[in-house]
Amino acid sequence: MTQGQENKTSVRGGFGIYFNRYEEETALQNLAAPPFGLTSGGAGDFLGSPGFANPWVDIKSGTAPAGFPANKFPFTAPKPGTPVDFGFFEPLSLNTSSPTLSTPYSMNFQLNIQREFSGNVVLSVGYVGALGRHLYRAYEQDFITAAGQAACKADATCGGTANGRNFQGVIFPSHTVLGSDAFGSWGTQYTDGTSNYNAMQVNLTKGMSHGLQLITSYTWSHCIDNGSGFENSGFGTRGTNPIDPALNIGDCAQDARQRYVMGYIYAIPSLHNYLSWAPDKIFGGWRFSGISTFQTGFAVPITTSRFTSLECDAFTFYGCTDNPNQVATSVSYVNPRTGPQSTFNGKKNYWFNPADFANVPRCQYDPVTQVLLNGAVCGQFGNTGRDSIHGPGIINTDFALLKDTKISEGKNLQVGIEAFNIFNHAQFGNPNGNVNSSNFGRITSAAAARIVQMRAKFNF
């Protein structure tokens, strides 16, 4: 730290390395591992459709497709000491940890300049950065290779059928890394994630004087990573892409580009100070306080759940890698509150035009010749980057009006009224990001509306 000649200017800097512990959630993924964890989809395990008369029988065909086990039910539990028949659990869906698993850590650094002004005011301007390394991510280890994608695309029985696309890794095991129909999925946890955060932070603080105290903070930042933690990279519709790593790089899930917060307290002068006839116990002790927040929105993952890339299927332990195409040069944002511009497909409250995105079409074949009709587009990844757009921001003010009344020595009564989101501004949640959903691009959730409460507190 250095100080100016008037002792009113300070320069501070710092650097630190911080190590983190593993998430408990990562260990919980092993609970269902056979033979200790027993789960079953009944007839669905062999792509059957259960009927009410006998739910363990496939009412369509009675047999399982190629690569799938036979009907396992009715089930007879093995006697204690009997060797485990792992074939009973096939196709296996397992979670494992990479042998190179290491401890996540971050390197934090900052440089800050502070200056004190008259009126008990301090201005601070600084740069803050953080680099995350060995961060947790999860993705499919037994993924369908690029050669497997091409093979499925060239085979009408694979790319042209629902079972072929949805269960490719089991029906066509040669398309996968392991090449074995014993595995439906081999989800693996890694510590190969990285993140970069850079921000300018400006703070203006006014200490209590003349009854007013003020704290303001403005942050302009950008966070980029290739997977925002274990849950973000492993679960949900869009998972980590092991074939094209560039598609994993994007804004962090918690990236909010700009944020401004102002907190304030003002003690209202007692009317008794100006008019002697006004009792201080009625007209004194009043004050109001509040916090106002203005923030840009968080990232919205744009996804698809149609298995259009032919790189993953329904057995994938962690999120599938599929992503749609952005067909518009730039995304058209609309106001979800008002006007016909926020209405698409007869519905309201859209955040962006859903027509700006399109699914990568499924493979389509001539029914007679089995020749691929649209081979230029199916069986490949879309062009939409991870977290490529941002959702609605925050405009919120919480406000309180309080009254302190001294009862006697050491005894005080405080009463007040508090309002959260006092202006009742709609705080929308993120829009639906799945291009397959009928609500794609539409906002279907919001934070609580205005809440008002009264309170009383007696101190003694």
Residue 272 φ then ψ, to 5°:
-65, -25
The predicted-structure confidence for 226-285, as pLDDT tens digits, reads as follows 999 898 888 888 899 988 899 999 999 999 999 999 999 999 888 767 777 777 777 778
The predicted-structure confidence for 393-431, as pLDDT tens digits, reads as follows 999 999 999 988 888 888 888 889 999 999 999 999 999
Sorted by sequence, the CB contacts under 8 Å of residue 349 that are 6+ apart come out as 336, 337, 342, 428, 442, 443, 444
Torsion angle (degrees, nearest 10) of CA 52, 54, 55, 60: -90
C-alpha–C-alpha distance, residues 133 and 313, integer Å? 30
What per-residue confidence (pLDDT) applies to 195? 97
The predicted-structure confidence for 186-197, as pLDDT tens digits, reads as follows 999 999 999 999
Q: Averaged over 207-213, what is the pLDDT?
A: 88
When pLDDT is cut at 50, 70 and 90, the band that residue 37 belongs to is confident
Q: Above 70 in pLDDT, residue 4?
A: no
C-alpha–C-alpha distance, residues 180 and 48, integer Å? 22
What per-residue confidence (pLDDT) applies to 291? 97
C-alpha–C-alpha distance, residues 307 and 240, integer Å? 14
What per-residue confidence (pLDDT) applies to 60? 52
Q: Above 70 in pLDDT, residue 56?
A: no
The whole model's pTM is what?
Answer: 0.84
The predicted-structure confidence for 337-380, as pLDDT tens digits, reads as follows 876 667 787 888 999 999 999 988 888 888 888 888 876 678 88
Task: Give bridge partners of residue 400 from the DSSP assignment.
Answer: 289, 418
Q: Above 60 in pLDDT, residue 220?
A: yes
What per-residue confidence (pLDDT) applies to 343? 77
